[in-house]
Amino acid sequence: MAIQGIEWIVVAVVVLVLFLWGPEKLPKIARSFGQAKKEFEKASKGFEEEISKAASLQPTASQQPPDDKLLEVARALNIQTEGLTREEIAKAIIDKSQKTA
């Protein structure tokens, strides 16, 4: 098998690196590249985790606090609203209004 195309470029780069830095520096260079790759992967994984965490913390429509009009109606019907979501308050209002009707 003869060396073809890109293989010549790889051989030339290896010979050039050996010529410029010498064989005793190659392990240090390879170790530095490995550590840089490891740090890059660690940082990108941390970045992805932060994005996922931030996306999960954004309130959805069901987690949004109830608006003032809904609270007024609930208070008028003597419904406790503390700690309830908008949907839960609305359901309680509907249940209470159906019972009184």
pLDDT in tens, 66-83: 577 888 888 888 888 888
Shared domain for 13 and 53, answered yes or no, is: yes
pLDDT at 101: 56
Q: How many domains does the chain have?
A: 2
Long-range CB contacts (< 8 A, 24+ apart) of 57-66? Answer: 61/86, 62/86, 62/87
Shared domain for 46 and 10, answered yes or no, is: yes
On whether residue 1 sits in a domain, the answer given is no
pLDDT at 36: 93
On whether residue 25 sits in a domain, the answer given is yes
Q: Compute φ and ψ for 62, nearest 5 degrees.
A: -75, -20
Question: pLDDT per residue over 24-60, tens digit each?
Answer: 888 888 899 899 999 999 988 887 887 777 767 655 5
pLDDT exceeds cutoff 60 at 62: no
Domain that holds residue 74: 61-100
Q: Does pTM surpass 0.85?
A: no
Shared domain for 50 and 70, answered yes or no, is: no
Q: Is the dihedral of CA 78, 81, 86, 91 positive or negative?
A: negative
Residues in the chain: 101
Shared domain for 79 and 38, answered yes or no, is: no
Which residues lie below 8 Å from residue 48, measured CB to CB, with a gap of 6+? none
pLDDT at 2: 67
Shared domain for 68 and 53, answered yes or no, is: no
pLDDT at 57: 66
- C-beta of residue 91 within 8 angstroms of C-beta of residue 75: no
pLDDT at 35: 95
